[in-house]
Amino acid sequence: MQKTLRFVTGNPHKYKEVKAVIQKNFPNFEVLQSNVKLLEIQADSLEEVALFKVNSVKNLVKIPYFIEDAGFFVDDVCKGFPGVYSSYVMKTIGYYGILKILDDSTTRKAHFESVIAYLDEDENVHLFKGINYGKVSIEARGNSGFGFDPIFISDETPGKTFAELNLEEKNQISHRRRSLDKLVEFLKKFDDSQKKI
């Protein structure tokens, strides 16, 4: 059965990534972009931010829909910063600021997290999380992707920053791919259980 979902995002890169994954791997799912403005709030976790965002557009977007909130975490040296403040840090000091903070530190562990908040037909919210571990590069490299991609080297693609991977390569391993896979698996299970009734 064809299923239409709305992805609430103003970020064309995120939409492109999500659409490519869905089209290639889940042909009976269609994702439409809903460009309704989402407010950034300050909270302690991506889950809290995602919950706030998904509820904030309840009367503005046709259900079912989902939002996604991501963060870049510099682990040891920065104790997870910028994390939930990634958007603000990107707008202010940018990824060059992160490179400057780390300077020539040999401890460069970092990871991306993605949390999808999905609002189902009964207005229940479901959260799905995806993570990719790696490190901060010494210098910015690559022109693909967006955000912190030029300074993140995943443990799964050593030697290449996310911005040096093409869309398909990033989409095979990214934090967003992993949260998205969980959402789709959830939706598939739901569809199957419906059929049995």
Q: For the purposes of burial, counting CB atoms within 10 Å of the CB of 17, is it exposed (0-12), middle (13-18) or buried (19 or more)? A: buried
Residue 105 C-beta: closest distance to ligand IMP, Å: 21
Residue 162 C-beta: closest distance to ligand IMP, Å: 6
Residue 21 C-beta: closest distance to ligand IMP, Å: 12
User: Which residue lies nearest ligand IMP, judged by its C-beta?
Assistant: 147
149 classed as catalytic: no
Q: Smaller CB distance to ligand IMP: residue 77 or 90?
A: 90
Residues 6+ apart with CB under 8 A from 129: 46, 47, 113, 114, 115, 116, 178, 179, 182
Measured from the Cβ of residue 14, the count of other Cβ atoms closer than 10 Å reads: 18
Q: Smaller CB distance to ligand IMP: residue 133 or 146?
A: 146
As a whole number of angstroms, the distance between CA 183 and CA 25 comes to 13
Residue 67 C-beta: closest distance to ligand IMP, Å: 9
Instruction: Provide the 8-state DSSP code for 27.
Output: T
- DSSP three-state, residue 9: coil
Q: Which two tokens stand for residue 34?
A: 């809903």
Q: Smaller CB distance to ligand IMP: residue 11 or 56?
A: 11
Q: Smaller CB distance to ligand IMP: residue 66 or 148?
A: 148
Q: Of residues 44, 69, 104, 192, which has the active-site annotation?
A: 69
Residues forming contacts to ligand IMP in the complex (CB under 6 A) are 11, 69-72, 86-87, 90, 112, 145-149, 162, 174, 176
As a whole number of angstroms, the distance between CA 7 and CA 61 comes to 9
**Which residues belong to the active site?**
69
